[in-house]
Structure 1
Amino acid sequence: MKNKLRHYRTVRIENQDGRFTIRGMGKWYHQWRDPYHLLLTIPWVGFAGIVSIAYLLLNALFALAYLAGGDSLEGAKPGSFSDAFFFSVQTLASIGYGAIHPKTFYANSIVTLESIAGLLLIAVLTGLAFARFSRPIAKVLFSQFILITTHNRQPTLTFRVANERHNFILEATAQMYLIIDELTDEGAFMRRIHELKLMRHRTPSLVLTWTIMHSIDSDSPLYGLTASDLEQRHANISILVGGVDETVAYTITARHVYATEDILFEHRFEDIIYTSENGDRYFDYSRFHQVQPLD
């Protein structure tokens, strides 16, 4: 166990603008010990760069192998690294111009090994490229603020989300969690996670917008807490929204974290739906994040 633990460094948790984040979490350059995950999460520019460098190094190694066999390539200058390198490129890509070809058993053996390496390389890169293209990505917009307001004469925590793709997210679900500092009865510090019960945690389809609410009653972990309490106890509210993207039939998940400074008391969202003179209804997404204080 100790040998395994040597590979892990100390994890640093930072408080940035009221949000607790793990340093390096989600960063592709912290995944060198997991190359498959690295190649799936690295930006496309970095992916192309790694593939190109690996391709050049592989051809350079085979070029050195051809040179180690002496004058083993017909049509190539003896001892020419460039000729051996470009012959390796042609072999690995199955181009086969024919200007240079192996003339010894040793060179043919290296060509055989390189052909096998080329097949494996193409198979791996094809799989990685397909996995990157087919990876489901949610396009869910979360409101900038989460509000504690009054709904049906009851204090209510509310925020709204929108489907930026404007297609159907089927069987959309939402989960809300309060993450807050607490002390146990023995005085031990804990970072506790409380699930917040939603008035409606599921909708048949998320097409445009969805206003999600949690009633702050006597059973709610937020009951009786003020803005000062939430700030002193470093409260965060974590949101998970998921469903099935109808276009690609993949399950997608989006997450968002609201810090204490994102929680506004006694405000309400501005209405984004308006009706034209002919009776048509429109959604004005320019007001999606806008709030106003209660009268």
Structure 2
Amino acid sequence: MIKKAKDPGFGHKSQKNIRGVMNKDGSSNVIHLNKKFNVDDLYTFFIELSWYKFFFFVLLGYVILNLFFGAIYTSIGIEEITPSRGNLLDDFLNGFFFSAQTLTTVGYGGIAPQGITANIIAAFEAMIGLLCFSFITGLLYGRFSKAKAAIRFSDNLVVRDFKEGKALMFRLMNSRKTVMIEPEISVTLSLNIKDENDQYQRTYYRLQLERDKIMYLPTVWTIVHEIDSTSPLYTYNTAALQSLDAEIYILLKYHEESFGQTVYQASSYSFDDLVTDVKYRPSSSFSPEGYTLLDHDTLSDIEPMA
């Protein structure tokens, strides 16, 4: 008997060719409107940034702070820290580089505050520098220590002959060298179908898998959903399957040796990725010495059915 699944939080209302709620890499497609800013969100924002964006913001903040304090030192009179060179640009550059030395608490000694005003500003800037670099150090630790899964999913969904009927399949592997311990997977199908009122509705089904949990995974795992009489895809032929407005949403969890804890990774497939009457090529082989060889470049390789 085909059983519908409860709404996983995506909602039942829909429209034609609606964009999936989740991307292939597990990131969300939800756009938040009228969300109130919270200072606590800064930590999450910087932790989730890509590395090049993270260092861009660090560099941008560093330059802005030095420009700000450099302008202050110039405005109070550059003579407060070093003799003037007679033009505004050179004086500003002296203020900028003195600010950089103060902010980082380097203090080369070539330039030093002389008056009480410059000393007060320099003392305040040094405190700001200590706080900023402590914050950045905490973010770096958080980014490196955050437990992350490193799962690669095949680029395609495959529908092929299986046993007495057909099956829906995709593959995954760990992009690290560690062994995935007790991986467990759940797959939800979302069908976008027009109802009798010409309104589009999304219906969800929890797909039954040949195996949804294994002891450990050192190589490649092919996830198999058999399209039998209990499958929500049973009434569709091959052509109809390829034209379905459908998505599958995946949640995988396993124990990651690198972090010593359970990690999660989400992903999704659109039925635009569906390929029929093909099979996956083997990704592993054996060396003459008897070692198992795993080729990461062949995860998505397919070939016609014999």
Please indicate, yes or no, whether the TM-score normalized by the shorter chain is above 0.5.
yes
Residue 214 of structure 2 aligns to a residue whose secondary structure is strand
Q: Please point out which of 80, 95, 105 is paired with 2:106.
A: 95
Residue 245 of structure 2 aligns with which residue? 234
For 2:60, the equivalent position in structure 1 comes to 53
Alpha-carbon distance, 1:246 to partner: 0.6
Q: Which residue of 2 aligns with 1:195?
A: 206
Asked if the contact 1:39/1:128 (under 8 Å) is kept, the reply is yes
Q: Which residues of structure 1 form unaligned runs of 5+? A: 1-12
Amino acid across the alignment from 1:57: I
Amino acid at match of 1:67: T
Give the Cα–Cα distance (whole angstroms) in 1 for the partners of residues 142 and 149 of structure 2: 16
- Cross-structure match for 1:110: 121
- Shift in alpha-carbon separation, 1:227–1:201, aligned structure 2, 3 A: same
8 Å Cα contact 1:173/1:203 also seen in 2: yes
Using the aligned pairs only, state the percent identity: 28
The alpha carbon displacement at 1:234 in A equals 1.2
Paired position in structure 2 for 1:3: none
Match of residue 4 from structure 2: none
Q: 234-243 or 183-192: which moved more?
A: 183-192
Distance 1:272 1:59 in 2: 53
8 Å CA contact retained: 2:81, 2:118? no
Q: How far is 1:116 from its partner?
A: 1.3
Q: Give how far 1:21 is off.
A: 7.0
1:64 aligns with 2:71: yes
Deviation at 1:50, TM superposition (A): 2.5
Deviations 1:161-203 (A, max 9, x none): 2223231122211121222212446553212332212122112
Larger relative contact order, structure 1 or 2 (CA cutoff 8 Å, min sep 6)? 2
Pick which of 117-126 and 174-183 moved more.
174-183
Classify the secondary structure of the residue corresponding to 2:215. strand
How many Å separate the matches in 2 of 1:274 and 1:105?
A: 74
In structure 2, C-alpha distance between the alignment counterparts of 1:86 and 1:274, rounded to whole Å: 59
- CA distance 1:44–1:261, shift in 2 (3 Å): closer
Taking the aligned partners of 1:267 and 1:170, their CA distance within structure 2 comes to: 30
1:258-277 alignment to 2 at 5 Å? 258-272=269-283
Structure 2 portions without partners, runs of 5+: 1-14
Larger proportion of strand: 1
Matched, 1:134 2:141: no
Say if 1:19 and 1:236, in contact at 8 Å, map to a contact too: no
Q: C-alpha displacement at 1:85, in angstroms?
A: 1.9
Q: Is the 8 A contact 1:67 1:84 kept in 2?
A: yes
Post-superposition offset of 1:204: 2.0
Q: CA RMSD in A?
A: 3.5
**C-alpha contact (below 8 Å) 2:22/2:267 kept by paired residues:** no
* Cα distance change of structure 1 residues 14 and 96 upon mapping to structure 2, 3 Å threshold: farther
- The letter for the 2-side match of 1:66 is Y
Distance 1:180 1:218 in 2: 17
The 1:159–1:104 alpha-carbon spacing in structure 2 relative to 1, beyond 3 Å, is same
- Tell whether the 8 Å contact from 1:59 to 1:88 is kept in structure 2 after alignment: yes
Q: How many residues align?
A: 275
Structural mapping, 1:1-295, within 5 Å: 20=20, 36-70=43-77, 73-77=80-84, 80-184=91-195, 188-272=199-283, 280=290, 282-283=292-293, 285=295, 288-295=299-306
Tell me if the contact between 2:219 and 2:284 (Cα under 8 Å) persists in the aligned partners: no
Deviates more, 1:103-112 or 1:263-272: 263-272
Structure 2: distance between partners of 1:188 and 1:274 = 51
Alpha-carbon distance between aligned partners in 2 of 1:212 and 1:73, rounded to the nearest angstrom? 71
